[in-house]
Amino acid sequence: MPLVKIPKPKFLVKLRRFFMADLLQGLRLTLKYNIGAITDKDAVAGKGIYTEQYPKVRPDVAPRFHGAPRLNMDPETHDTLCIACNLCAIACPEDCIDVLAMDVEIIVAGKPRKKKVLDEFIFDTSRCMFCALCQEACPTSCLELTQDFELATYSRAGFVWNREMLEQGRETVKYTR
């Protein structure tokens, strides 16, 4: 009694085995890939070579990709667009945003008034899951998740971004070779 039942091969299967059709099929497939890679033509779908040469050639990320956060500024005056409304901090499911506001005395129509302006903005990227709910919540489209994906740092503290980093962007070493 054999432990493993092997079905009796049909005539067509026998014929395929005799002419080693599977071997030839495999050889054809690898040759197709090889020629496709040399001519950079599509072997099955897409392009010939799938490898990205990352530091040398930077990949194009998808339009819906969410990466490093940024605080946008008014392009003319270079003042921050943030009105310190705290909506982003409320929207954040991970609670990783801290908006610290301060009051400034200003004169409106001859009377002294207090205005709430942004003092410091803390964004903890180590806890962020890049859901972009903060971006949706922002009424002035100030906070935005950009397409920049190089977020690694050498220390845990480096993941906490302050207002300056959010506005200017973080300095990273760009490898080109």
- Per CB under 8 A, residues contacting another protein are 1-4, 6, 17-18, 23, 26-27, 29-31, 33-34, 36-38, 43, 48-51, 53
* Residues 6+ away with beta carbon under 8 Å from 154: none
- Report the SS3 class of residue 163: helix
Least distance (Å) from another protein to the CB of residue 9?
A: 8
Query: What is the Cα–Cα distance from 36 to 48, expressed in whole angstroms?
Result: 5
Least distance (Å) from another protein to the CB of residue 62?
A: 21
Least distance (Å) from another protein to the CB of residue 19?
A: 9
CB nearer another protein, residue 23 or residue 100: 23
CB nearer another protein, residue 29 or residue 129: 29
Query: What is the Cα–Cα distance from 107 to 113, expressed in whole angstroms?
Result: 6
CB nearer another protein, residue 27 or residue 104: 27
Query: What is the Cα–Cα distance from 74 to 22, expressed in whole angstroms?
Result: 65
* Residues 6+ away with beta carbon under 8 Å from 85: 99, 139
CB nearer another protein, residue 42 or residue 164: 42
Least distance (Å) from another protein to the CB of residue 57?
A: 11
